[in-house]
Structure 1
Amino acid sequence: MPAPLATELSTAAVLPEGLLYIDGVLRRAEGDRTYDNIGPWTGKPVGIAADAGTLDVEQAIAAARRAFDTTDWSSNHEKRFTLVRRLYDLFEVNRDRLVDIARHEVGAPLVAVNRAQVANCLNSWRDLMDVYPELQWEKDYGVRETSFGKSQRTAHYEAIGVAAAITPWNFPLYVNAEKVVSALLAGCTVILKPAPDTPLAGAIFGELAAEAGFPAGVLNVITASDPAEAGELLVTDPRVDIITFTGSTAIGKHIVRQGAETMKRAFLELGGKSANVVLEDEPNFAQIVAQSILVFHAGQGCAVQSRLLVPRSRYEEAKQILKAAYDAFADKWGHFDDPACSMGPVVSQKQMMRVKGYVDLGVEEGATLLAGGNLRPDKGDGWFIEPTCFVDVTNDMRIAQEEIFGPVLVVIPFDDDEDAIRIANDSIYGLSGGVWSGDRERALRVAKSIRTGTVGVNGGTPINGDLPFGGYKHSGVGRAWGIEGIEEYLETKVIAYPV
């Protein structure tokens, strides 16, 4: 029996109301303002969320500042760890609710839910707790004699202060956990502002923090329908010490400019246009090319490998392999209840039309549409666009240079290893990538030559919660996850005294 399409999705599935969490209190927004939480599968409301305004944001900032300045949160390491672990345990208990949020609010298919959306959120959160004991809070630099005499020198590492976390809609539970948990473990107090499209993935942090017994003001959660207003207030307020942001490079640049007036630290994980390089000596060439089709979570990931680079000598072969792979996948996406489904809708109508605009642009630029490219209203009333692949692409085309953030793969030929490296590096981005070869040393040489933050060689996994993740160039500033991700929220103070 075929898996049910999105059109068979029950409209009775409604998520709980999302509330603000400010100064230890779960509540509605000022004036009881709410907004509809639209489900990507149906295009219809799946719940409502609090719609925060200026006064709500002001109260959240004041609460976070007071909690940092007047309590022992930043200095009581054991207390912090105990509460973060208690919060993690509550997330595990509420795993089914996380699944509902990822499915109905994010639009994630079950394969994505059971990997990056929920499982990876919790696994990576556990990784942060595992590395936390390795953090160094003090470092001895020993005694040194200068013209002023002998001094004993030590460095002390302490929380930077109030952290504002502005997060995206594509993997919201995972990114929210990265920012909230890292900042809390470092000793910061936190204001979480999730994306307007995915408010409940943020609101649940407030709800469960209240249940865990977090001190008032340590964690605050504000949701809002306006994509910019609350973020602008956080970025420009001098009481906020650091902005941690994941999203588009354009918004990241805006945050840096706006925060400069208060010398605010910015920790940014931004866009990508990552290259997957398959060398001609890869023994499983057909398999690797076929599995490169960009379908997982409809290509909505900053680290997806959306440029496939294949040898010119095998380019026609690669086209045939890809055509067969896309044909075989044609009936395997857009199924809400199929546990094997890896691709559903994109998150919103706006995003669907953005992706379709890039498909039309690719045709105008002279690329050949090998597969897909159409909107699919037959899949349901939500935001469906076909898995899409362009061939006969040159790297100077906009579809090869700009982040589409949808299920659109571009395939580019290269002449030799140096040409592949040149094409991979001919991008303003540098977030992720992959290299495949029958000769591991050759693959490692190519990988080391690509200017990017993470590279998987022959299927290796360079993204885990215990590893630093981030990008070169316009893909961001700083590193998330691992010890390095917690250290982003620390300041260094050097103390010396005469001996």
Structure 2
Amino acid sequence: MSAARAEHLLIDGRLVPAEGGGTFENTNPATEEVIGVTADGTPGDMDAAIRAARRAFDGTGWSTDPALRVECLRGLQRALVKNAEELRAAMVAELGTPVALTHGAQLDTPVENIGWVADLTESYRWTEDLGPARPYGIASHRSTVREPVGVVGAITPWNFPMQINLAKLVPALAAGCTVVLKPAPDSPWTATLLGRIVAEETDLPPGVLNIVASSRHELGRQLAEDDRVDMVSFTGSTATGRAVMTAAAGNLKKVFLELGGKSALVALDDADLGQVVGNAAFQITTHAGQGCAILTRLLLPRARYEEGVEALVETLRGWPYGDPADPGTLMGPLISERQRERVLGYIATGVREGATAALGGGVPGHLPRGWFVEPTVLTGVDENATVAQEEIFGPVISVLAYDGGDDEAVRMANNSRYGLSGMVVSASAERARAAARRIRAGTVSVNGGIFYGADVPFGGYRQSGIGRESGVAGFEEYLEIKSLAEGV
């Protein structure tokens, strides 16, 4: 992978350097080595991208031609499949994600999901006939029309960049919107390589998709504030989501927010602890715990607490982690030194507040380079402790004990300002479903079921966000509803 292949912005259909030629470094978190540079977009570059998107929406037939959009999306999917190995190598290098994950949610699955969105676009009912009526005695024939919202500003995080980039731009483009994508500076190549593929190997019209990478977070604010942008779609922390919402309030543009989580894995008193522990271990080590929907609180009945903790510690003690390029690795590094220090700080806070690190808690001695943290199990955690309430975004699980049966388990699961995900495990599917229905979260797994899929809406309650991504609901986030009434 050469830096030159990944350094350009995509603006108005052309691959261009940043205004003034500025670049910023891209670092491999597993080796701490600089692997190249990326064009460092400026406010002028962002302005040009928004201008191009506005022109493409207002001045071309993109917004009114679903057949063209379907053709372009299928072409994009073919181009991404063709370039999958280059994308895979770039993601492992800049994210530190285990290569095994790129064969699922990090790359292959989101690319495959483009076909589902294209199929939906072809079959979608863009108009609905509501029939005749006589409001106020006036004979009228009513209908509704679904139309694209306009120019979409997409601001994406570093942890699952291809999945989240495509989850925003594909349905937005399918709906007839034009897009300006601002990727996170910690994972720019996933987006800039996408831009190169779009420019060189697809028929997307100029200005329909624009990609502005930058080290400057203020460009996200610029995108959210701009009056020419009709909607902002953001995935990231709840704190930044509040800032995006505030910035977008100036012209009351539509806002989609997919934010943080502190999700609970609830083991009811009849649960198979082997299943519980296997799910818990996989969850907190997936991409080193750097996922918003990861289950980071394990709730065990007090009578089975010690048994559950012992099983979890033994499972994680031999967990394979290290070099993300090794197909046998299940956990890689954290994205940056800054993130590692943040995670270690949370672990220290947990211990200071009374928790015990039953496993891990520090930097692994056998990995002197790279921003790794040991898989960490915190026990004796109070439900209101910092580590039980705040999103850590690292390979750390807090194990809590509950008394009082299913009601108490559900109450503790809901003791959070977030509401993104969850899981309930029980020997009784009916009992697990009943508890799952009472958990205030956007996605809940019952006995290990997987909710992730192109057709499944994803999003959260409370401070985990506003709106849904994926599924028909996610597609319709990028549409407006126009009601028509004709006098007859």
Q: TM-score, structure 2 length as denominator?
A: 0.97
* 1:103-252 alignment, distance < 5 Å: 103-211=92-200, 212-226=202-216, 228-252=217-241
Q: CA 1:186–1:496 in structure 2 vs 1: closer, same or farther (change >3 Å)?
A: same
Alignment of 1:445 with 2:434, yes or no, is yes
Supply the AA of the counterpart residue of 1:361: T
Distance in 2, Cα, partners of 1:125 & 1:407: 30
- Could you list the per-position Cα deviations for residues 338-361 of structure 1 after superposition, in whole angstroms to 9, with x for gaps in the alignment? 212110100011111110110110
Tell me the residue number matched to 1:304: 294
Distance in 2, Cα, partners of 1:151 & 1:44: 68
Tell me the residue number matched to 1:317: 307
Distance in 2, Cα, partners of 1:207 & 1:68: 21
Alignment of 1:456 with 2:445, yes or no, is yes
Q: Secondary structure of 2:134's match?
A: strand
Q: Secondary structure of 2:25's match?
A: strand
Deviation at 1:378, TM superposition (A): 4.0
Q: Secondary structure of 1:147's match?
A: helix
Alignment of 1:350 with 2:305, yes or no, is no
Aligned with 1:435 (options 399, 424, 429) = 424
Q: Secondary structure of 1:48's match?
A: strand
Distance in 1, Cα, partners of 2:145 & 2:10: 32
Distance in 2, Cα, partners of 1:216 & 1:291: 45
Give the conservation status (yes or no) of the 8 Å contact 1:290–1:321. no
Aligned length: 484
Distance in 1, Cα, partners of 2:274 & 2:477: 41
Distance in 2, Cα, partners of 1:396 & 1:485: 33
Distance in 1, Cα, partners of 2:385 & 2:256: 30
Tell me the residue number matched to 1:398: 386
Q: CA 1:218–1:170 in structure 2 vs 1: closer, same or farther (change >3 Å)?
A: same
Identical pairs, percent: 44
Distance in 2, Cα, partners of 1:308 & 1:13: 43
Distance in 2, Cα, partners of 1:157 & 1:287: 44
Distance in 2, Cα, partners of 1:45 & 1:468: 37
Give the conservation status (yes or no) of the 8 Å contact 2:359–2:375. yes
Deviation at 1:13, TM superposition (A): 7.9
Deviation at 1:134, TM superposition (A): 3.3
Give the conservation status (yes or no) of the 8 Å contact 1:143–1:151. yes
Q: Secondary structure of 1:154's match?
A: strand
Deviation at 1:15, TM superposition (A): 7.7
Tell me the residue number matched to 2:274: 286
- Could you list the per-position Cα deviations for residues 168-215 of structure 1 after superposition, in whole angstroms to 9, with x for gaps in the alignment? 100001100111101000000000110001111111221111121221
* 1:3-152 alignment, distance < 5 Å: 16-152=5-141
Q: Which has the larger displacement, 457-466 or 289-298?
A: 289-298
Tell me the residue number matched to 2:470: 481
Distance in 1, Cα, partners of 2:478 & 2:184: 22
- Could you list the per-position Cα deviations for residues 421-441 of structure 1 after superposition, in whole angstroms to 9, with x for gaps in the alignment? 000111011111111111111
Tell me the residue number matched to 2:402: 414
Q: Which has the larger displacement, 369-378 or 92-101?
A: 369-378
Q: Secondary structure of 2:318's match?
A: helix
Give the conservation status (yes or no) of the 8 Å contact 2:162–2:191. yes
Q: CA 1:400–1:18 in structure 2 vs 1: closer, same or farther (change >3 Å)?
A: same
Distance in 2, Cα, partners of 1:213 & 1:323: 52
Deviation at 1:292, TM superposition (A): 1.1
Give the conservation status (yes or no) of the 8 Å contact 1:15–1:101. no
Unaligned runs of 5+ in 2: none
- Could you list the per-position Cα deviations for residues 389-410 of structure 1 after superposition, in whole angstroms to 9, with x for gaps in the alignment? 1011111001000000110100
Supply the AA of the counterpart residue of 1:160: V
RMSD between aligned residues: 1.4
Give the conservation status (yes or no) of the 8 Å contact 1:278–1:289. no
Distance in 2, Cα, partners of 1:13 & 1:437: 50
- Could you list the per-position Cα deviations for residues 42-87 of structure 1 after superposition, in whole angstroms to 9, with x for gaps in the alignment? 1121111000101111100100001100100000000011011101
Deviation at 1:263, TM superposition (A): 0.7
Supply the AA of the counterpart residue of 1:281: D
Q: Secondary structure of 1:238's match?
A: coil
Aligned with 2:349 (options 349, 361, 364) = 361
Distance in 1, Cα, partners of 2:143 & 2:315: 59
Q: Secondary structure of 2:399's match?
A: strand
Unaligned runs of 5+ in 1: 1-11
